[in-house]
Amino acid sequence: MKKILVIHGPNLNLLGQREKNIYGPTTLNEINALLKKLADRNKIELEILQSNHEGEIVDAIGAAKTNQIHAILINPAAYTHTSVAIRDAIAAVDIPAVEIHLSNIYSREDFRHSSLIAPVCHGQISGFGVNSYLLGLQATIDVIKGASS
Ligand code: DQA
- Of all atoms in ligand 1, which is nearest to the CA of residue 81? 4
Nearest CA to ligand 1 atom 13: 77
Q: 4: Cβ–Cβ under 8 A, 6 or more apart, which residues? A: 39, 44, 45, 46, 47, 69, 70, 71, 72, 73, 137, 140, 141, 144
CB 73 within 8 A of CB 3: no
> Considering the domain boundaries, does residue 117 fall inside one?
yes
Task: With respect to residue 149, please indicate whether it lies within any of the assigned structural domains.
Answer: no
Assess if residue 113 is contained within a domain: yes
Of 85, 105, 86, which Cα lies nearest the Cα of 5? 86
Query: Does the pTM exceed 0.85?
Result: yes
102 lines ligand 1 (CB under 6 A): yes
Q: Is residue 121 part of a domain?
A: yes
pLDDT in tens, 69-108: 999 999 999 999 999 999 999 999 999 999 999 999 999 9
* Range 4-26 average pLDDT: 97
pLDDT of residue 149: 54
Picking from 13, 22, 43, 15, the residue whose alpha carbon sits closest to that of residue 141 is 43
CA–centroid distance, residue 1 to ligand 1 (Å): 31
CA atoms within 13 A on the CB side of 148: 15
Q: Residue 45: helix, strand or coil by DSSP?
A: strand
Please work out whether the CB of residue 112 comes within 6 Å of at least one atom of ligand 1.
Answer: yes
Within a domain: 123: yes
CB 35 within 8 A of CB 48: yes
- Give the pLDDT confidence of 18-32 residue by residue, as tens digits: 999 999 999 999 999
Summarised one tens digit per residue, pLDDT across range 104-137 is: 999 999 999 999 999 999 999 999 999 999 999 9
Q: What is the CATH number of the domain that holds 26?
A: 3.40.50.9100
Q: How many domains does one find in the chain?
A: 1
Whether residue 106 is contained in a domain is answered as: yes
Q: Which of 18, 103, 108 to mutate to test the pocket of ligand 1 (most atoms within 8 A of CB)?
A: 103
Tell me the residue range of the domain where 14 lies.
2-144
Q: Does the C-beta of 80 come closer than 6 Å to ligand 1?
A: yes
